[in-house]
Amino acid sequence: MESAEPVHRASSRTQRVTAAMVASLAGVSTATVSLVANGKTQGRVSEDNISRVRKAIAELGYVVDGIGSSLAKGVSSIVILVAPDISNPFFAKVIAGVRESLGSEYQLLLSVTDAGEFPRAEDVRKLMALRPAGLLVDAPNAAFLEDLSVAGPLVLLDAPGLEAYAPSVNLDVAHGARELAAHLAASGHKRVAYVDSVTGTATFGVRRAAFLDEADSCGISVADSHIISTTIDVGAAAAAFAAAWPDWQRAGVTAVVCGTDTHAYGVLQEARVAGVRIPEELAVAGFDDLPYSATSNPSLTSVHLPATPLGLQAGKQLRGLMEGRELEQPQLTLESSLVVRGSTGFSPSIAEQRSF
């Protein structure tokens, strides 16, 4: 006759494994299981007991109840990152920087929406039931922050003009935008179009305003009818450019500036379809300096924005707040810079055309 299943084993895959079950199998107290599971064994638990508890955890598939711990301590090890569009490759680099700065002590939870939409404040507030240790908000707008109104450590990323709401790590996007306008002016461009993002976040407004201001100072015309907006999507940008290009071409537009490299990829794609030569007939530039921009055909002129350092510094700022430290520099700004590549290369053969 077969022996009965030991009482410390789960009767099915769906039964929740408890610390008491691990303790029973390992022959230790539940307090010892807690110390081992949470990595707090130094000087408190013998190597033999550590080994037995770890073996029991592996055998039973025990997982620490993070929510229960949060309720007991009043705060969890979760950090929430709110971002408007995770499909944008720029955010992947931001996330990498945040993860590096947080280390293994914190778990990163993302709150994102579809391209072109920003998470609703009420949805983020629901996540606060998890009692996160801190909150990061990437590229917010003032209305969202006004409505959010949550307590606890908070750091903003790429949020120009919103420094009054919380400690921030910003990008000097205006500097790069002005450099780009000056570069196009030096290349002889007189009429330029602009493809913007529809997200309505503060950073895109600063990029556009700085470019338009410098363009005007340099003698470049950007007519209102030559400014369009799309979601941050290659296909959407390509379709918008295809619809606008006939009018732009008749008006003498010789360059298109895009709010992101993703927009610029769409413009380059549709320009090839339309038989528009880049940069001989049309110069194209973007913002972000994504990895593919250096290898696209032609390579894309772009305003370099340090995405990974942005996430890294924001994570460090948040760690300081979560650990109760006073920040030496609550407001940080990272530099942007123009990277000139083939998509805006100056062609002497059309210099006379651009001078009219």
pLDDT 10s digit of each residue in the chain, 356 long? Answer: 444 444 444 444 446 788 899 999 999 998 998 888 877 888 899 999 999 999 998 888 887 665 555 555 556 789 999 887 677 778 889 999 999 999 888 989 888 766 656 667 787 877 777 888 899 998 888 888 888 877 789 999 998 888 899 999 999 999 999 999 999 999 999 999 999 998 878 889 999 999 999 999 999 999 999 999 998 899 999 999 999 999 999 999 999 999 999 999 999 999 999 999 999 999 999 999 999 999 999 999 999 999 999 999 999 999 999 999 999 999 999 999 999 999 998 544 444 444 44
State the architecture of 19-64 in CATH terms. Orthogonal Bundle (1.10)
Read off the DSSP letter of residue 98.
H
Q: What is the pTM of this model?
A: 0.75
Of the candidate CATH numbers 3.40.50.300, 3.20.20.140, 3.40.50.2300, 3.40.1190.20, the domain formed by 74-171+307-334 belongs to 3.40.50.2300
Q: Does domain 173-306+338-355 have CATH number 3.40.50.2300?
A: yes
Using alpha carbons, select from 328, 351, 41, 333 the residue that is nearest to residue 187: 351
Q: What is the domain partition of the chain in residue ranges? A: 19-64, 74-171+307-334, 173-306+338-355
- What order of strands is seen across the sheet that includes strand 107-111? 107-111, 78-82, 134-138, 154-157, 168-171, 331-334
The packing angle between helices 47-60 and 30-37, to 10°, is 80
Chain centroid to Cα 308, Å, comes to 9
* Residue linked to tokens 């942005």: 310
End-to-end Cα spacing for the chain: 99
Cα separation, 337 vs 183, in Å, equals 12
φ/ψ (deg, to 5) at 339:
-110, 110
What is the residue type of 71? L
d(CA 125, CA 270): 41
Distance, in Å, from the CA atom of 204 to the CA atom of 153, rounded to the nearest integer, reads 26
Same fold, 74-171+307-334 and 173-306+338-355: yes
Burial (CB count within 10 angstroms: exposed 0-12, middle 13-18, buried 19+), residue 153: buried
